[in-house]
Amino acid sequence: MSRYWSAVTHGLTPYVPGEQPRFDNLVKLNTNENPYGPSPRVLAAIRDAADDGLRLYPDPNASALKSVLAARHDVSPAQVFVGNGSDEVLAHAFLGLLKHERPLWMPDVTYSFYPVYCGLYGIAFRQIPLADDFTLRVEDYLPRADERAGAIVFPNPNAPTGRLLPREAVERIVAANPEAVVLVDEAYIDFADPEASAVALIDRHPNLLVVHTFSKSRALAGLRIGFALGHPDLIAGLERIKNSFNSYPLDRLALAGALAAVEDEDYFQESRRKVIASRAALVTGLRELGFDVLPSAANFVFAHHPRRDGADIAAALRQRAIVVRHFKAARIEQYVRITVGTDEQCATLLAALREILRTAAAQPGAEAES
C-alpha cells in the first residue's frame, strides 16, 4: 500500500473486470460481448470520422446522438444523457442522484460494480436478498412505516442471473417510492421482450432513470458508449456531475459510430434475433447435459451442475481454451455465467462440457450419472 494514497483509496475494494485472455483458438464466453460485431455502417462511419477533424474537441453535448436516441425511444433530447459506457453513466448517477442520508437499496446478487461505487462515493447501502430462485421480490422494495430507501438500483435483466422483472413489477417499485430515485440498469434489455423495458414508464414517473449501453446489443464494447433516459430534472443533475468531471466524454469516433449504430435498425434487429435463437439452443444443450439453467432474458446464461463444482467446471473449460465467468460470491459460487456466442462457439462449449462430465464420471468414486 502506498503511503501517498488517500484514506478513500486505502479503503476501496475495486471492481474486478472480466478477464481478456490471450489464448490460441480461444472461445471467449466470459464478458458478454456480442459475437457478431458492429454494423458495417458503424465501421464506415468511424473511418470517415478519422480525419483532420480529430484536432478539434467533440461536441460536449453530443446533440446529434441525443436527438436520434430521443427519437428512437420516443422521448425529448432533454431526457437523454450520454457518457463513456454505461459504467460512467452509472457512476455519475450514484454520486449525483443515489447518494442520500437513507441507504441505497439493491439486490444481494447483482452487478458487482454497485457496491464499488458506494465505496468510492461513501454511499450507505442495503443489499436485499433475492428469492431462492433468484427472482427479485417487489414486496422487498416497498417502503414501510419504519424504513424507506434513499434510492434504489437494480439491473433488469439482472446480472449475473439473467432473470427479468416484468415492466408492471418495475412500475410497482417506482410508483411506491416517489421520493426516491429508482435506477433500472437495462444493459441487457435488447435481448428480452421489447415490451419489458421501463423506458415507457418515464413520462409517468419523474423518479425513474433507465440506463442503456451500446456494448452488448450494438456490439460496441470497445467504443465505450452509454446513455440514460429520464425526467429532465434527473438528466440535468447528471449533466452537472458530468460537467464537473469531464465536459467532453464522448470522442468524435465514438459519436460517429454510435449515430450509425442507432440508424442501422435492420442490422441491430438481425443481430439480436441471432443471439436470442442461439441462447435458446444453448439452454437446451446445457439442460440435456444435466445443468440447471436459470431463465435468461440476456445474452448470457447462468447455470450450475448439481454434481460438479462450478469452479472446477470453469477451470476444466479453461484448459480447453474456453473461458466462462465464475464468481466466488456467496449463493452463486456453484454457478458459471456463459456468454451466448455464435452457434459454432456454443457447440464447441457443449462438446467440451460433455467430455468434462464424462471424464469426471469415469473417475473412481464418482457418482453415477443419471
Please report whether residue 367 resides in a domain: no
Average confidence (pLDDT) over 107-124: 96
Of the two residues 365 and 329, the one the predictor is more confident about is 329
Can you spell out the DSSP letters for 301-342?
A: EEEEBTTB-HHHHHHHHHHTTEE-EE--STT-TT-EEEE---
Residue 245 pLDDT > 60, yes or no?
Answer: yes
CATH of residue 285 = 3.90.1150.10
Q: Which residues contact 66 (CB under 8 A, 6 or more apart)?
A: 77, 80, 82
Please report whether residue 170 resides in a domain: yes
Q: List 336's β-bridge partners, or say none.
A: 303, 326
Query: Is residue 88 located within the same domain as residue 210?
Result: yes
The domain tally of the chain equals: 2
Q: DSSP character for 147?
A: B
Q: Which helix (H) or strand (E) covers residue 81, if one does?
A: strand 80-83
Confidence band for 361, pLDDT divided at 50, 70 and 90: low
CATH of residue 149 = 3.40.640.10
Cell of 215: 456494448
Cell of 60: 460536449
Instruction: Pinpoint the alpha helices (H) of the chain.
Output: 7-11, 40-49, 63-73, 85-96, 113-121, 167-176, 232-242, 252-263, 265-288, 310-319, 343-362
Query: Is residue 164 located within the same domain as residue 212?
Result: yes
Residue 369 pLDDT > 50, yes or no?
Answer: no
Confidence band for 229, pLDDT divided at 50, 70 and 90: very high
- In single-letter form, the type of residue at position 176 comes to A
Per-chain mean pLDDT for the chain: 94
Last residue of a domain, one of 215, 232, 264: 264
Residue 128 pLDDT > 60, yes or no?
Answer: yes
Q: Is residue 143 within 8 Å of 173, Cβ to Cβ?
A: no
Query: Is residue 71 located within the same domain as residue 53?
Result: yes
Please report whether residue 364 resides in a domain: no
pLDDT of residue 368: 46
Last residue of a domain, one of 238, 264, 290: 264
Average confidence (pLDDT) over 312-317: 96
Confidence band for 8, pLDDT divided at 50, 70 and 90: confident
Q: Quick: pLDDT tens for 26-53.
A: 999 999 999 999 999 999 999 999 999 9
Query: Is residue 54 located within the same domain as residue 137?
Result: yes
Cell of 244: 464537473
Please report whether residue 107 resides in a domain: yes
Query: Is residue 107 located within the same domain as residue 246?
Result: yes
Please report whether residue 176 resides in a domain: yes
Query: Is residue 61 located within the same domain as residue 132?
Result: yes
Query: Is residue 342 located within the same domain as residue 222?
Result: no
- In single-letter form, the type of residue at position 290 comes to G
Q: Is residue 94 within 8 Å of 119, Cβ to Cβ?
A: no
Query: Is residue 72 located within the same domain as residue 175?
Result: yes
Query: Is residue 94 located within the same domain as residue 185?
Result: yes
Query: Is residue 219 located within the same domain as residue 315?
Result: no
What residue has cell string 464466453? 29
Query: Is residue 139 located within the same domain as residue 179?
Result: yes
Radius of gyration over alpha carbons of the chain, in Å?
21
Please report whether residue 256 resides in a domain: yes
Report the percent of the chain where pLDDT is more than 90: 88
Please report whether residue 209 resides in a domain: yes
Residue 276 pLDDT > 50, yes or no?
Answer: yes
Q: Is residue 259 within 8 Å of 68, Cβ to Cβ?
A: yes
Q: Which domain holds residue 285?
A: 7-36+266-359
Q: Tell me how far apart the terminal alpha carbons of the chain are, to the nearest angstrom.
A: 51
Please report whether residue 255 resides in a domain: yes
Query: Is residue 85 located within the same domain as residue 162?
Result: yes
Report the Cα 141 to chain-centroid distance in Å: 21
Last residue of a domain, one of 245, 264, 283: 264
Instruction: Specify the pTM.
Output: 0.94
